Amino acid sequence: MFLNLNKWITLIFTFLIITASAFAQGTTGQLSGTVTDPTGAVVSGATVKIISLDTNAERETTTGDDGDFAFQLLTPGRYRIETTATGFQTRSVEAVVNITQTTTVDVPLVVADATVDPITVTAETPVLQTETSQNGRVITGETLRQLPLPTRNFQQLLTLSPGAQSSVSNTTELGRGDATISVNGQRTTSNTVRINGVDANSIGTNSTPNIAVPAPDSIQEFVVQTSLYDASFGRNAGGNVEAITRGGSNDFRGNVYYYLRNRVLNANEPFIKARGIERPPLDRSQFGGTLGGRIIRDRVFFFGSYQGTRERNGYSLINSLTSPNIPLGLTDTNRTAAGLAAAFGIANAATVNPVALAILNARLPNGQFAIPSSGATARPFGCTVVSLNFVP
């Protein structure tokens, strides 16, 4: 029995490792630079080591004859770059690697001097990206968590990138995780969205995800590429969105939250208020939390996130408030000039479009249309993100 259990555990961990490796191809960044001496000449044969400030994972390489170094397929995050060469002082530089981006850090060395302490500097992300021609913007998790998000959907911030537009979610869409994005005038179904390297587009319409998406607290960062990205980033002519969820580190970190919206705090619509109707119910509770840390220091890490939404929404998807006489004047204006002149008067039924007439006959005595609307409904759903990180 225990032997079979060990086999299952081994199989599960093997699957997780293979899956993590496959996802890394679409959710990584690159770090490169040039090592030079005080005169500006390149230094070949220098040892360059990078260390993750979150997991202490290390990678090492040496500079070529041109003094250049490069590290590919790096997990986005903070890194320390330590450079050593014979006759020079050790140089330490801190830099940030972003998803799908190339961070360039040039390292000028100083001649060794026993009286000088090792030098540590922090590299800033350049405003102008010169390593690639693609246009886009990286939105960090810190920015994501500081900005107000009534929908609790990270896709709402895609419009921070130039060329991206989004409609404002109305009351009936809040809490559903839906977002409609248009990039550079393209259709909303012409975007590619990937979360942790996995295609997250809607299967039916190829639109942005209209399902429960990861909560903002579980997103590490995402990038919106609006144009000139290479063929490896999707099949659509619109924007390309690459998002990555957070991972664990050697430090234990977590948070809990609860957001409440109810009728006490909601404003009433002026048309509903004028008719003396009680404001429709709109009670929404969003709650959750995150927790991440280490299982084995410097080797195995975990991160988990959960967000639940409970909503009671009584707003109608379609609302029509009309005068009893107006429906009688909705005529087919393509038929006669007389029909156009009588657009909002009492018209002969012969000038009314037959299809429109069938719809108008379904109206209520007060002039409103008998259109099905949503009653008070509850939409309970949750979104859970669990990840394991392994460092060889």
CB 355 within 8 A of CB 362: no
The percent of residues above 90 in pLDDT, for the chain, comes to 22
Query: E-assigned strands of 272-354?
Result: 282-296, 300-313
Cβ contact 293:252 at 8 Å? yes
Structure tokens at 169: 């979610």
Is pLDDT above 80 for 120?
A: no
Give 315's contacts (C-beta < 8 A, 6+ positions apart): 171, 172, 280, 282, 374
pTM value is 0.70
Tokens 């009688």 identify what position? Answer: 328
Q: Are 7 and 35 in contact (CB under 8 A)?
A: no
Residue 46, CB-side half-sphere exposure with 13 Å CA sphere:
32
Would you state the pLDDT for residue 10? 63
- Using DSSP's 3-state secondary structure scheme, residue 280 falls into coil
Residue-wise pLDDT for 184-233, tens only, equals 888 888 888 888 888 888 777 777 665 557 888 999 999 888 887 777 77
Exposed, middle or buried, 292 (CB in 10 Å: 0-12/13-18/19+)? buried
Q: How confident is the model at residue 57 (pLDDT cuts 50, 70, 90)?
A: very high
What string of DSSP letters covers 235-254? Answer: S-SS-EEEEEE----SS-EE
pLDDT digits (tens, 9 = 90+) for 141-194: 888 888 888 778 888 888 888 888 876 665 555 545 566 788 888 888 888 888
- Looking at residue 15, its pLDDT comes to 52
Burial of 152 (0-12, 13-18, 19+ CB in 10 A): buried
User: Which residue would you say has higher pLDDT here, 32 or 329?
Assistant: 32
Domains of the chain: 2-122 (2.60.40.1120), 135-317+378-390 (2.170.130.10), 320-372 (no CATH)
Q: What is the pLDDT of residue 274?
A: 82
Please report which helix (H) or strand (E) contains residue 121, including its range.
Answer: strand 119-122
Let me know the angle formed at the C-alpha of 244 by 302 and 182, rounded to the nearest 5 degrees.
Answer: 155
With 0-12 CB in 10 A as exposed, 13-18 as middle and 19+ as buried, what is 307? buried
Residue 367's Cβ-count burial label (10 Å; 0-12, 13-18, 19+) is middle
- Name the pLDDT band for 52 (thresholds 50, 70, 90): very high
Contact 113, 126 (CB under 8 A): no
CA atoms within 13 A on the CB side of 162: 4
pLDDT in tens, 344-388: 554 555 666 677 666 666 555 555 555 544 444 445 455 566 677
Side-chain-side CA neighbours of residue 385 (13 Å): 24
What tens digit of pLDDT does each residue of 60-103 get? 999 999 999 999 999 999 999 999 999 998 999 999 999 888 89
Distance CA(161)–CA(168), nearest Å, equals 16
How much is the mean pLDDT over the chain?
A: 75
